[in-house]
Amino acid sequence: MGRGRATGLIGLLAAALAAVVAMTAVRAAWADPDPPLGGRAGVHEGVASCSGSTCHSRPAPSGLTVRQNELITWQDPHSEAGAHSRAWKVLTQPRAEAISAKLGLGPAERAPACLGCHADPAPPAQRGARFQLSDGVGCEACHGGAGGWIASHYALGATHAANVSRGMLALDEPKVRAARCLDCHFGGPSPNQFVTHQMMAAGHPQIAFELDLFTALQKHHDVDADYIARHKVAAGGVKTWAVGQAMALDRSLTLFGAKNPGGVFPEFLFFDCQSCHRTFSNDPKWRPVSEPNPGRPIPVGTPPFNDENMIMLSAAAKVAAPALSARFEGEVKSFHQALAQNGAVAASQAAKLAATSRELADAFNARSFSRADTLAIFEAVLSGDNARRYTDFEGVTQAVMAADTLLGSLVAEGAIDRAAAARLRPDLDRAYQAVRDPTAFHAAEARAALQQAADKARGLK
């Protein structure tokens, strides 16, 4: 999690509790280009095309289909919901300029390697007259170029399906949404959408992501009865969470195969940061801090692949895709072992595991999740075999976000009451505290806090 960012997150997590966003249906999307339709289809018209007091900048509720103040929320200078409107501006600030200067990229606000994520990445040929890079991550960076639907989507009788057929992205579907967010909140196949270890070394913050929680944090729309009728929302946030985990693992393994700087070393971004960035001493009294981890049978001294999503998926698969669970566990172990032994074998194991992750995404997407499922996943994430796998900063960060999301969705569905959820809050806060600063991370403290949350959750069954 970005230095200092966690503080802000903690405050907002309470708000996240209230959010429930869950969706249906399958629609594959891997960094999908906007669909090739005729005319202006796929053209990114620019945020100015969405503003206007009768469009998405309406101060008072319209009483119509959507609240229509989405642009005002997207621009909110004081909240995480406004972060995307600031994404380009941060490139003009000293921290960003220092990063790009170290990398020899010239001014960050003009560097393609930064603009791919800090602005709408539409290629120049797809930019309309009102398109501005300085708008940052504008509406169409997520919802898709509006050229094909801007005129029709507010016409009488417009439907979500018709909008989608004209090029609007179906972000209500977890797989589509995950693919779009991951392009920037992990990385995509484009060379301009990847934070390399060199960028991290030059000062870029670490990126943490969990689909459901981050959706709640950037929420700029109302989820009311009308929204649910339109999008047929069926399940709680747990489905979005589970699909998001599977999509994230697929993405990281697929990019691991594709992104290789070509030097002696692999791209370090995919490995646990602390495994290399630890202090050590020749003092005979000094004791190494690395711990054995039953989830990855690798020799001491081998940098472990960042397994945060694998740990979450172990828990989710056991409960919600038991037919795939044993295969998944086996492939995870083989992948870790191969990494320590043979690069070519590791690459083929990565491809296998990525394929299984995609099967998991489909399995989660196709089912609904009951209260009992969510409680069982909560328990499986935090205790049993999983509990012994929280040796790394990244894994613990993902676990605490998972606990938060799962608890939030139970509350939102009315499956547990607020007071019961509030009793777990101090434990989650302690776990968040443990991952505030990667250099001050104490795995044992974080594990104890997560275990306490799990113990209390058992009483909720």
- 179 to 218, contacts with ligand HEC by CB under 6 A? 180-181, 183-185, 187, 193-195, 197, 199-201, 204-208, 214-215, 217-218
Of 90, 122, 85, 132, the residue nearest 108 (C-alpha): 90
Of 411, 333, 345, the residue nearest 375 (C-alpha): 411
Letter string b/e over residues 383-407, b meaning 16 or more CB atoms within 10 A of that residue's CB: beebbebbbbbbbbbbbbbbbbbbb
Token pair of 248, please?
């994230």
State yes or no: residue 111 binds ligand HEC (CB under 6 A).
yes
To the nearest whole angstrom, how small is the minimum distance from the Cβ of residue 80 to ligand HEC? 4
For ligand HEC, the closer CB: 194 or 378 = 194
For ligand HEC, the closer CB: 45 or 70 = 70
**Considering only residues 70, 331, 379, 413, which one is a binding residue for ligand HEC as defined by CB under 6 A?**
70
For ligand HEC, the closer CB: 184 or 416 = 184
Token pair of 389, please?
């796998």
For ligand HEC, the closer CB: 193 or 337 = 193
**Which residues within the stretch 31-60 sit at the binding site for ligand HEC (CB under 6 A)?**
47, 50, 56
State yes or no: residue 346 binds ligand HEC (CB under 6 A).
no
To the nearest whole angstrom, how small is the minimum distance from the Cβ of residue 283 to ligand HEC? 21
How many Å apart are CA 134 and CA 82, to the nearest integer? 14
Sole residue written with tokens 């190494």 = 288
CB burial of residue 300 (10 Å; 0-12, 13-18, 19+)? exposed
To the nearest whole angstrom, how small is the minimum distance from the Cβ of residue 326 to ligand HEC? 29
State yes or no: residue 6 binds ligand HEC (CB under 6 A).
no
To the nearest whole angstrom, how small is the minimum distance from the Cβ of residue 158 to ligand HEC? 11
State yes or no: residue 251 binds ligand HEC (CB under 6 A).
no
For ligand HEC, the closer CB: 375 or 399 = 399
State yes or no: residue 20 binds ligand HEC (CB under 6 A).
no
Sole residue written with tokens 């960012």 = 5
To the nearest whole angstrom, how small is the minimum distance from the Cβ of residue 171 to ligand HEC? 4
State yes or no: residue 290 binds ligand HEC (CB under 6 A).
no
The count of residues interacting with ligand HEC (CB under 6 A) is 73
To the nearest whole angstrom, how small is the minimum distance from the Cβ of residue 305 to ligand HEC? 9
**Which residues within the stretch 128-187 sit at the binding site for ligand HEC (CB under 6 A)?**
137-139, 141-143, 171-172, 177, 180-181, 183-185, 187
Angle of CA points 294, 401, 398, to nearest 5°: 35
Region of 67-75, 146-154, 279-287, 410-418 interacting with ligand HEC (CB under 6 A): 67-75
**Considering only residues 166, 220, 296, 389, which one is a binding residue for ligand HEC as defined by CB under 6 A?**
220
Q: How far is CA 288 from CA 128, 187, 285, 291, 337, in A?
A: 57, 33, 10, 8, 22
To the nearest whole angstrom, how small is the minimum distance from the Cβ of residue 323 to ligand HEC? 30
Is 184 within 8 Å of 31 (Cβ atoms)?
A: no
Other Cβ atoms less than 10 A from the Cβ of 249: the count is 25
State yes or no: residue 435 binds ligand HEC (CB under 6 A).
no
How many Å apart are CA 254 and CA 231, to the nearest integer? 30
Other Cβ atoms less than 10 A from the Cβ of 340: the count is 16
State yes or no: residue 3 binds ligand HEC (CB under 6 A).
no
Of 173, 242, 235, 172, the residue nearest 368 (C-alpha): 235
To the nearest whole angstrom, how small is the minimum distance from the Cβ of residue 24 to ligand HEC? 12
**Which residues within the stretch 362-401 sit at the binding site for ligand HEC (CB under 6 A)?**
none
**Considering only residues 114, 243, 313, 435, which one is a binding residue for ligand HEC as defined by CB under 6 A?**
114
Sole residue written with tokens 């990281």 = 252
Sole residue written with tokens 């005129």 = 151
To the nearest whole angstrom, how small is the minimum distance from the Cβ of residue 294 to ligand HEC? 21
State yes or no: residue 71 binds ligand HEC (CB under 6 A).
yes
State yes or no: residue 269 binds ligand HEC (CB under 6 A).
yes
To the nearest whole angstrom, how small is the minimum distance from the Cβ of residue 9 to ligand HEC? 7
To the nearest whole angstrom, how small is the minimum distance from the Cβ of residue 93 to ligand HEC? 7
Token pair of 60, please?
């008072």
For ligand HEC, the closer CB: 108 or 450 = 108
Token pair of 377, please?
């996943």
CB burial of residue 348 (10 Å; 0-12, 13-18, 19+)? middle
State yes or no: residue 235 binds ligand HEC (CB under 6 A).
no
Within 13 Å, how many C-alpha atoms sit on residue 396's CB side?
A: 30
Q: How far is CA 5 from CA 62, 99, 205, 231, in A?
A: 34, 18, 9, 32
